[in-house]
Structure 1
Amino acid sequence: MLDDFLVRAALAGLGVAIAAAPLGCFVVWRRMAYFGDATSHAAILGVALALALDLPVFGGVLVIALVMALLLTALTGRGMGGDAALGVLAHTALALGLVAVSFLPSVRVDLLSYLVGDILAVSGTDLVVIWTGALAVLMLLSWRWSALLSATLSPDMARAAGVDPQREQFILTLALAITVAVAIKVVGALLIAALLIIPAAAARPLSRGPETMAAAAMAIGAAAALGGLLVSFALDTPTGPTIVSVAAAIFALTRSLQAARG
């Protein structure tokens, strides 16, 4: 059954969606959209590093994404505005990645597949990597869920309860880096942040608590992945952008329902 490329693509999309959705809720709650942008743009530099050193692409992207997220945390913690740090790091990393790839003449690189994804080319090995990373992210978030919520709602109250907000920030950073590394094959470096944020934002009007919002975001992310795959196959459109477009349509629908309810 896994020999069917559509089945592999569907499983890959589901794996990324269930990892990105609950993490995306924390991104929305903490207003950390710039983290997703910066780390996903840095993924191209990770691709170049992996190809230059003949390493697995997942490993190169994971290392660079983690370094970028930690660097962004350090800069914003030293008084540099988040928007300024995003502008410097995100675009610098993307530019350096594109330049670095041009210095690899002996390696044939399909940049478009890394920029907007190539879910239809997912292999069995890619599936193992994607689902291993997705399960690692889910286990990490489940393990630290209460502490992450406390640090998100009130860092001062979290400290009083014995929770270190900086440690929880690092855990989120690690989960974000893993998600970027597994998602690059599915939606590409330019669209990863959208898959993090849009399902969570779409779930917000449907939810009455953090847990229900995370569950709704996972359902919306899965629906967007499968719906986008079907629409892409039917209309012969790029699959990664189509998945994000379906997620955006669901976001518009949930917001319209919220407005209709007053």
Structure 2
Amino acid sequence: MSFIKTTEQASNYNHLEKMTVKELLTNINVEDKSVPYAVEKAIPAIENLVNSIVYRMKKGGRLFYIGAGTSGRLGIVDASECPPTFGVSHNLVIGIIAGGDSAIRKAVEFAEDSTTQCWKDLQKFNINKNDSVIGIAASGTTPYVISGIQKCNENSILTGCITCNEGSPLSKVAQYPIEIIVGPEFVTGSSRMKAGTAQKLVLNMISTSIMIQLGKVKGNKMVDMQLTNNKLVDRGTKMLMDELNISEEKANELLLKYKNVRNAINNYTNGNR
């Protein structure tokens, strides 16, 4: 089958400039509703990738996201949320974007076209065989990402990808390809829309399920979250009240003493009250 970029196909809608605001919002919403169904079809592929990553992370491996533009930014967002949410090191899940950190806010011209820079960026982290790398590219054709995945394969590093085109060059080189086929965008070619939403949903699924498998959730609670603001202190206090059946005052005292919901629970149940 020849490779066709459905993400670049003409929108199902025309004369957008003639639509009212309500029509624009309604039609965008109609398109967005299709994304979770597209993701659902890829659950078996996501499951296979997650299981393989968990196996390596339990042996000390790390997870890397590589991408350019919107895809790279989404990877960085997901990676940056893991430490505060699950209490893990900033070096456990790492997002890398073509063009470096400055590209997070402002596009770096032609950074995504390099076929050598991605591997150099990964080597800065002393990447090794226990690590896993997921290439994120809606088009599935980004040279920065494809070349990075190829070099990882050559060095016996597990590779996966998230793309929104079927049979893309990226899917063909990744060991565990995930294809979320969302079809044409509302604004033709604007893959920050449905494709970006699809990638975000899949990244949520991957990182959350990995962290649960690594024991970073108890029941349904983020017991290892970092207490970085008053909202999270309040959330942690309520967790302890529910888990230990104690007063708000006692829960807050324990939380501030042990700096962590899990530590507070363990110490309280062990008699350190």
Q: Which structure carries more helix by proportion?
A: 1
What TM-score does the superposition give when structure 1 sets the normalisation length? 0.29
Q: Which structure carries more strand by proportion?
A: 2
Larger Rg: 2
